[in-house]
Structure 1
Amino acid sequence: MKKLAVKDLSACMFCLTCENACAQAFYKGENFQAQDLSCIHVLGTDTPNKFKIATCVQCGKCSKSCEAGAITQNAQGVYTLNKKLCVNCGKCVEVCPFKVIVHAKDKPSPTKCIACGICVKACPQGVLYIKEDAKEAVSA
């Protein structure tokens, strides 16, 4: 299974470069608030200089909630959203336990992490990586 994972949370500087890179990948050239449209979220905590990073763990809850069948799992174990099948009901956004499926109000469908690695490449501290676990891979 392929998914985004946190390698070294203690190295996170809360620069939000990962969020900006993700949002820009899905919403190229648009004027947006990255935290609202990113499929990764860096969150502050009650402890100074300590952060949490919310990522898609490819759990499949979004797929199970999608009555249109627009969210399916590919051979690498990544749940992807087919925008042509999406009916914009918002159930996947509501059911996501990490709140990382996002929906711009002016767009016909939500976006979700596809484990593309753009945020990984953008992070100046090496906090993130793409985890590939052959044991959990989906048979095609």
Structure 2
Amino acid sequence: MKKLTMKKGGDCHACLECVIACSQAFYKEFDPDKSCIQITEKKGAIKPMVCIQCGKCAKACEQGAIKQNAKGVYMIDKKLCVGCGKCVEACPFGVMVMPAEASAPTKCIACGICAKACPMEILEVVES
């Protein structure tokens, strides 16, 4: 299974370079609300919130528009998606996004653009 992870012992400085890279890749603009990676703070620790490819979005999709590919990444078939947003609501990590002007949501596809943009080199795409 291919997925984006944070390296153990990695120290996020909340520079937002990963967030910028993701929103630029999908929407050609910097807007943190359009990024499939979010920076969160819990118990004083800053860390990127990433899609772990759990499949809850696919289970919530009544149209069958979200399917797992051969590498284990859940992908959205925009031809089947009706834009209802149930998958966005089902995402336990809040990293599926659907801007008001979009006809379909966006989710992490483990492309690695955010990992390449991270100056701290704490993100990586792994196959497990």
Q: What TM-score do the two structures reach when normalised by structure 1?
A: 0.87
2:126 pairs with 1:125 = no
CA distance in 2 between counterparts of 1:10 and 1:116 reads 20
Q: CA deviation at 1:53?
A: 1.8
2:34 to 34, 37, 41: 37
Aligned residue identity for 2:40: L
CA distance in 1 between counterparts of 2:58 and 2:116 reads 27
Q: Equivalences for 1:1-140 in 2 at 5 Å?
A: 1-8=1-8, 10-28=10-28, 30=29, 32-33=30-31, 35-47=32-44, 50-133=45-128
Q: What TM-score do the two structures reach when normalised by structure 2?
A: 0.95
Aligned residues of 2:5 and 2:125 also touching (Cα < 8 A): yes
| Structure 1 pair 75–10 and aligned structure 2 pair: CA distance change class (3 A) | closer
CA distance in 2 between counterparts of 1:9 and 1:130 reads 16
| Alignment deviations for residues 2-57 of structure 1 (CA, whole Å, 9 cap, x no partner) | 000000454211100000100100001x4x52x2011011112452xx30221000
| Structure 1 pair 9–89 and aligned structure 2 pair: CA distance change class (3 A) | farther
The structure with the largest alpha-carbon Rg is: 1
Aligned residues of 2:2 and 2:73 also touching (Cα < 8 A): yes
- Which stretches in structure 1 are left out of the alignment for 5+ residues? 134-140
Aligned residues of 2:112 and 2:125 also touching (Cα < 8 A): yes
SS at match of 1:11: coil
Aligned residues, how many?
A: 128
CA distance in 2 between counterparts of 1:3 and 1:96 reads 16
Aligned residues of 2:81 and 2:104 also touching (Cα < 8 A): yes
Using the aligned pairs only, state the percent identity: 57
